[in-house]
Amino acid sequence: MTAAADKPRVVVITGAAGALGSALVSEFSVQGWRVAAGVRNQVSPLPQDNSIWTVPLDVTRSNQIDETFANVVQRWGSVDVLINNAGASADSTLADMSDAEFQDVLNVNLKGAFLCCRSALRPMLRQRDGHIVNISSFSGRAGARGQANYAAAKAGLFGLTTALAQEVGSRNIRVNAVLPGILSSRMTAGLNSGQMEAYARANALNRINSVEEVAKFVAFLVTMQNASGQVFQLDSRIGPWS
């Protein structure tokens, strides 16, 4: 990052109350960042100290997003990094999927990322510096039965990432996507041990990833100055080349 060495950098993390979100908040805080931890509900178990500020951030509400980013800039002077981590799923075979189940998942996973990117770009373009990380999914690359809505939304993040990277690269703003892999989280809480074991066996290393390792990678990625428009897969599932 090009921020002054004595000025703490500022990261906004959406979906901060979830398993990965909490790990991201913790990792960035430990590394000395100022963290705006975006949560949908006001009640949050996140710690509060001088470096962590829990902010209201429902990624489906455009006006609230604009207001929250403006408040972060007013309080801390900049937004150096945005991590679009908020996610939602509503699994069903497509024949049984309702209009609302399809649209709601797209609203959170894809449109929410678009809205947050738009708000974050206002200070980043003025700064001529910034990094956006979109948390996508292997489902967006390979699909998954019963996840047409989720796979479509996460695949859309690939297009959003690469298009935006080309738009803002001349302003020194990097945009990348990360595929964390299967994690122990609220989204996988309904899976039984056999299903989790099957996911582990689908990996060349026969194990799933951890939220702590993903958080460490993302914290490293945003310090990189020359990587943009890329998709980083963090587990050991081998996907098709095409």
Strand 52-56 and strand 173-179: pairing? unpaired
In a domain, 195, yes or no: no
In a domain, 41, yes or no: yes
Instruction: State the average pLDDT for the chain.
Output: 91
> With contact defined as beta carbons under 8 Å apart, do 179 and 221 qualify?
no
Whether the pLDDT of residue 2 is over 50: the answer is no
In a domain, 241, yes or no: no
50 confidence band (pLDDT: 50, 70, 90): confident
Q: Hey, what's the torsion of the CAs at 105, 110, 111, 112, to 10 degrees?
A: 90
110-126 pLDDT, tens digit per residue, is 999 999 999 999 999 99
Domain count across the chain: 1
14-32 pLDDT, tens digit per residue, is 999 999 999 999 999 999 9
Whether the pLDDT of residue 192 is over 60: the answer is yes
Where residue 162 falls (left for φ over 0; alpha for ψ -120 to 50; beta otherwise) is alpha
240 confidence band (pLDDT: 50, 70, 90): confident
Domain of 77 in residue numbering reads as: 10-183+210-233
Whether the pLDDT of residue 61 is over 60: the answer is yes
Q: Which of 233, 203, 12 is nearest to 136 (CA)?
A: 233
DSSP β-bridge partners for residue 56? 39
Task: Give SS3 for 232.
Answer: strand
Whether the pLDDT of residue 186 is over 90: the answer is no
In a domain, 40, yes or no: yes
Tell me 146's DSSP state: T
123-161 pLDDT, tens digit per residue, is 999 999 999 999 999 999 988 889 999 999 999 999 999
Instruction: Report the C-alpha gap between 106 and 113 in whole angstroms.
Output: 10
In a domain, 200, yes or no: no
Q: Kindly report whether the global pTM for this prediction surpasses the value 0.75.
A: yes
Please report, for residues 88, 100, 143, 199, the alpha-carbon distance to residue 195 in angstroms, rounded to integers and kept in the order given.
20, 27, 17, 6
CB contact set of 109 (below 8 Å; sequence gap of 6+): 86, 87, 88, 150, 153, 154, 156, 157
In a domain, 242, yes or no: no
Whether the pLDDT of residue 59 is over 90: the answer is yes
185 confidence band (pLDDT: 50, 70, 90): low
Of 28, 102, 138, 150, the active-site residue reads 150
The domain spanning residue 165 has which CATH number?
3.40.50.720
Catalytic-residue membership of 199:
no
In a domain, 193, yes or no: no
pLDDT of residue 242: 46
- Tokens of residue 217, six digits: 């990678």
Farthest CA pair distance, the chain: 56
- Tokens of residue 48, six digits: 């509060």
Strand 130-135 and strand 81-84: pairing? parallel
In a domain, 188, yes or no: no
81-108 pLDDT, tens digit per residue, is 999 999 999 999 999 999 999 999 999 9
Single-letter residue type at 46 = L
241 confidence band (pLDDT: 50, 70, 90): low
